[in-house]
Chains A and B, each alone.
Chain A
Amino acid sequence: SSELTQDPAVSVALGQTVRITCQGDSLRRYYASWYQQKPGQAPLLVIYGKNNRPSGIPDRFSGSTSGNTASLTITGAQAEDEADYYCNSRDSSGNHLLFGGGTKLTVL
C-alpha cells in the first residue's frame, strides 16, 4: 500500500518515555525520517535512517524499525517536546514520498 499510519494523539508524563509509531508496507524496505512541528513553525528533522540525529537534536530522541513499523522514542520527555510529529518514507516505487498523518504529542 502507499500509506503511512500514525496514531492521531499520544500523551506522556513529564520525564517519562513515549513511543510514537508509524505503520506502512514501504517501511519494510525504506527507513522513515521523523519531523517535529510546533505551531506556526516549519517542520524540523529529528531522526533519519536507521537511527541518526541531525546536529543539535537531543539524544533523548531515537528511532527504530521492526517489520512494517517505525518508531520514534523520546526518553525523558520534556515540556518543549510537545508538538506534532510526522513520519516520512518512500512509496513502493521508491521515487515518491509519503507522510504519515501526524501524531500530536502532549506532555502532561
Chain B
Amino acid sequence: GENVEQHPSTLSVQEGDSAVIKCTYSDSASNYFPWYKQELGKRPQLIIDIRSNVGEKKDQRIAVTLNKTAKHFSLHITETQPEDSAVYFCAASSGSSNTGKLIFGQGTTLQVKP
C-alpha cells in the first residue's frame, strides 16, 4: 500500500549547523511532496513543497530536493536557529487515487541547541 518512511525520528544539532531529514515514498504516481513544521501544541504549518517536475526548491534557509527515480526527497535546513526546533513531517500525494490525499511520514523531532 501507500507508505512514506521518514528518518531520523529525532535529530539534535547545534545552532548554526545544518539539518537534513529524509523521506522515501512507495507510490510511483505521487507528484506532490510538502513539508510541514509543527511546534508543540500548534497546528502543522506548510513550510515548503515540491512537485515532481522539479528537482530542487529553495526558500531562504530551507530547501527540498526530490529524486523521483529513487523515490526519495529531503528537507535541508541551513544555519539552524533555536526557533527551528519542532516536529517536521514530510508527505506525499496519493497519485493513484487522485483525491488530494496526502500520506504523511512519521515525523522528525528536531532540537536545535543554542
A binds B: no
Q: What residues of chain A have their CB less than 8 Å away from a CB belonging to chain B? A: none
Q: What residues of chain B have their CB less than 8 Å away from a CB belonging to chain A? A: none
